[in-house]
Amino acid sequence: MKNILLIVMMGMGLMAHSQFNKRMPDYNFIDKIMYHAKWQTTQDVTYDGSYRIIDYPNGDVPSDIGVCTDVIIRAYRYVGYDFQESIHRSIIGRMDYYYPVRTKNYGDKPDSNIDHRRVRIIKKYLDLHWPESRITDIKDYQPGDILFWDNWHIGILIDEKVPGTDRYYCVHNIGMGPVKGDVHYDEEKLEHFRFRP
């Protein structure tokens, strides 16, 4: 019975993704990332960051669960960039950089199931391999920029502005699934990157 339920759930996920693919216009790289991020806000996703064994490369947790990092991972994977593989390759041989403090369940060895799903690890990866992508101008926000709230949260700006403002909406998952939300740039302690691999 469990196997049948699993097959049905996987089939539903593939159908949903194939329907998305049929609707995807011929956009450029960043437009596709934003389009996918916006599409994620239409999906029913339960916030769940529990540890799971997933495929490698191109592994993902079930499509009906996720956390803030999964929004970014899924949007970039849609355009062919796999954070899971890139980060895992980077962590091998650089454990002290990524995990200066290690415990039995946190950073004791490279783990392709979870490393790329950690906010601080994604930020360290970008700083190490794509330092030019870090934006230091606090007024320079553009659609497609990845935002970090310190080391605990991540989201991506889209090309829709909050009515009556110059702020772009941000797609992120802060506990209720992917949503389109307003981010007050001046009031938040944000770091952000313009990542174009």
181 in a structural domain: yes
- The conformation of residue 159, written as its DSSP 8-state character, comes to E
70 in a structural domain: yes
> What are the residue ranges of helices labelled H in 115-188?
119-129
State residue 134's pLDDT score: 97
109 in a structural domain: yes
37 in a structural domain: yes
Convert the pLDDT of each residue in 32-89 to its tens digit: 999 999 999 999 999 999 999 999 999 999 999 999 999 999 999 999 999 999 999 9
Handedness of CA 141, 154, 171, 81 (dihedral sign): positive
Please tell me the total count of domains within the chain. 1
Convert the pLDDT of each residue in 110-141 to its tens digit: 999 999 999 999 999 999 999 999 999 988 99
| CA 162/CA 57 separation, integer angstroms | 37
48 in a structural domain: yes
With beta carbons less than 8 A apart as the criterion, state whether 130 and 145 touch: no
With beta carbons less than 8 A apart as the criterion, state whether 170 and 181 touch: yes
Domain interval for residue 53: 28-193
This prediction has a pTM of 0.85
Question: Could you tell me the two tokens for 64?
Answer: 């009906």
3 in a structural domain: no
1 in a structural domain: no
CATH of the domain at 61: 3.90.1720
The bridge status of strand 179-181 relative to strand 190-193 is: unpaired
13 in a structural domain: no
Q: How confident is the model at residue 154 (pLDDT cuts 50, 70, 90)?
A: very high
State residue 2's pLDDT score: 46
Cβ partners under 8 Å of residue 13, min gap 6? 62, 63, 64
With beta carbons less than 8 A apart as the criterion, state whether 164 and 136 touch: no
